[in-house]
Amino acid sequence: MTQYPSYKMKQPKILLLIVIALLPLILVSCAPWGTQSAGGWAGTAVHKGTIYVGTVDGRVVAINSSTENLEWSYSIAPVTAPSSGLSCGETSVPTAIYGTPLVDRDIVYIGTYSGQVLALNMLARGQDLTFPQQRYGEWEWDCPIDNAKSNAIVADLLVSADSIYVCSSNGRVYSLDKEFGDLNWESKVLDERHRKLWTSPVIQGNTLYVSTYDGHIYALSLETGDLLDWSFESEAGFSSSPVVYEDAIFLGSFDRYFYAVKIGSDVPMWKFPEEKQAGNWFWAPPVINEGIVYAGCLDGIVYAIEAKTGEKIWEFDAGKTIVSSPVLIDNLLIVIDESGNVYVFDLGTELVREAVPLKTISIDAAVRSSFCAQEGLVYIRGEDNWIYVVDIDKGELGWKVTLTIEE
């Protein structure tokens, strides 16, 4: 059996590193109320010609992608921030949104840092009706704290045929009825010492898989939430949400390696790079297509890796941190670095070990959120609270619109 070097990192240390990374966003909350921002890194979702996104001032916004006009905006109820270490006294602050809106038919689901899950009906929000409108299928669910320090929801929500799945900072996974918001089940995944579920779950068959910052992959029954017999333990915590491809789970680790774990096994299929660790964490989940894993790293390099063997096919060094997951559109791979450079790779051509992008387009704005692409357009939320729409065919920024409400 291959002996992997030990990089066991305790969760408190991991969380401290994450807090340090997010410190600029935390400090923003000390601004006066008029300029106060909730922060968060909510990404974009597009459904039937409408862009949905969470803003840095705690709103869920719908924008018509054809007219570039606002369809509706819903402000999530602000929270009271207590006076403590990094805060500037007790005050009412907008609710941060970290998860990307989840769109299913005519409902937009959103999780908040204040521990709520909201189901917003598009028609009711377009009429600016009082929330929640139960006759339109709207509901609100409050996540319990369960003696934890926080019930914040940071991870993206996950939807199945009839349920919404939620990972919470209280260390538990919840299944909610999609139609009414009733609790189906809750599953305690992490013990009292290891809270914080900030990764999103993934479904394979009748099983829900969850990765944790303390280095575990857990398998839960989709029907009951019970822990199943198989689990996997790593020497280091997992930094990214899991992705399932065929019969394996792919995810990044805090030891600066990327792992492939065959479901049912207690040892990795492979880890990447094979020898020397990468320059930083693999923070964002990968995208996998036709047996190739495309993984972006915080060291600024995107890697194409053979899914079965872990062999590197090619790499591209953007020179800037890559926080967002790559996106596939037709036969093109879209990668965005933190500086707002959009790289387009043609997967229909043979890319050599040092790949060169087909096109590079800059939006001149920092990007730390997930993004989406549809019909040749890439939809990006910048850290400046603007939506940027990049036209891939033309190789240029098509249009942009601010998400900030003018005073």
Q: If phi over 0 gives left and psi between -120 and 50 gives alpha, with beta otherwise, what is residue 10?
A: beta
pLDDT average, residue stretch 29-33: 37
Tell me phi and psi for residue 203, to 5 degrees. -105, 135
Q: What is the helix (H) or strand (E) element at residue 343, kind and residue range? A: strand 341-346
Would you state the CATH architecture of domain 38-79+92-142? Beta Barrel (2.40)
What is the reported pLDDT for 89? 55
Tell me phi and psi for residue 98, to 5 degrees. -105, -35
> Strands across the sheet with 243-245, in order?
243-245, 248-252, 258-262, 270-272
Confidence of residue 147 (pLDDT cuts 50, 70, 90): confident
**Dihedral (C-alpha) 236, 267, 305, 246: value to the nearest 10 degrees?**
-120
Confidence of residue 352 (pLDDT cuts 50, 70, 90): confident
Q: Is the pLDDT assigned to residue 271 strictly greater than 60? A: yes
Contacts of 252 (CB under 8 A, 6+ apart): 238, 239, 240, 258, 259, 281, 282, 283, 284, 285, 286, 295, 297
Q: Among 331, 320, 330, which Cα is nearest to 296's?
A: 320
pLDDT average, residue stretch 306-329: 97
Q: Is the pLDDT assigned to residue 316 strictly greater than 90? A: yes
Q: Where are the domains of the chain?
A: 38-79+92-142, 273-406
Q: Is domain 273-406 annotated with CATH 2.40.128.630?
A: yes
What is the reported pLDDT for 14? 53
Q: Under a CB-based contact definition with an 8 Å cutoff, are residues 19 and 11 in contact?
A: no
Residue 360's alpha-carbon distances to 215, 314, 367, in angstroms, are 36, 18, 15
Q: Give the CB-side neighbour count of residue 141, counting CA atoms within 13 A.
A: 23
Confidence of residue 22 (pLDDT cuts 50, 70, 90): very low
What is the reported pLDDT for 34? 38
Question: Which residues are paired to 377 by β-bridges?
Answer: 374, 391
Q: Is the pLDDT assigned to residue 87 strictly greater than 60? A: no
Confidence of residue 19 (pLDDT cuts 50, 70, 90): very low
Q: If phi over 0 gives left and psi between -120 and 50 gives alpha, with beta otherwise, what is residue 223?
A: alpha
Question: Which residues are paired to 248 by β-bridges?
Answer: 245, 262
Q: Is the pLDDT assigned to residue 139 strictly greater than 90? A: yes
> Quick check: do 38-79+92-142 and 273-406 share a fold?
yes
Q: Give the CB-side neighbour count of residue 243, counting CA atoms within 13 A.
A: 24
Q: What percent of the chain has pLDDT over 70?
A: 86
The rounded distance, in Å, linking the Cα atoms of 367 and 383 is 6
The rounded distance, in Å, linking the Cα atoms of 114 and 160 is 24
Comparison of pLDDT for 373 and 94, the residue scoring more? 373
Q: Is the pLDDT assigned to residue 39 strictly greater than 90? A: no
3-state secondary structure of 13: helix
Provide the mean pLDDT of the chain: 89
Two tokens, residue 354: 């040092």
In the numeric block, the tokens 């908040």 are attached to 112
What is the reported pLDDT for 145? 86
What is the reported pLDDT for 43? 96
Q: Is the pLDDT assigned to residue 196 strictly greater than 90? A: no
pLDDT average, residue stretch 160-184: 97
Q: Is the pLDDT assigned to residue 252 strictly greater than 90? A: yes
Q: Among 72, 23, 68, 22, which Cα is nearest to 49's?
A: 68
Please tell me the total number of residues recorded for the chain in this structure: 407
Comparison of pLDDT for 291 and 189, the residue scoring more? 291
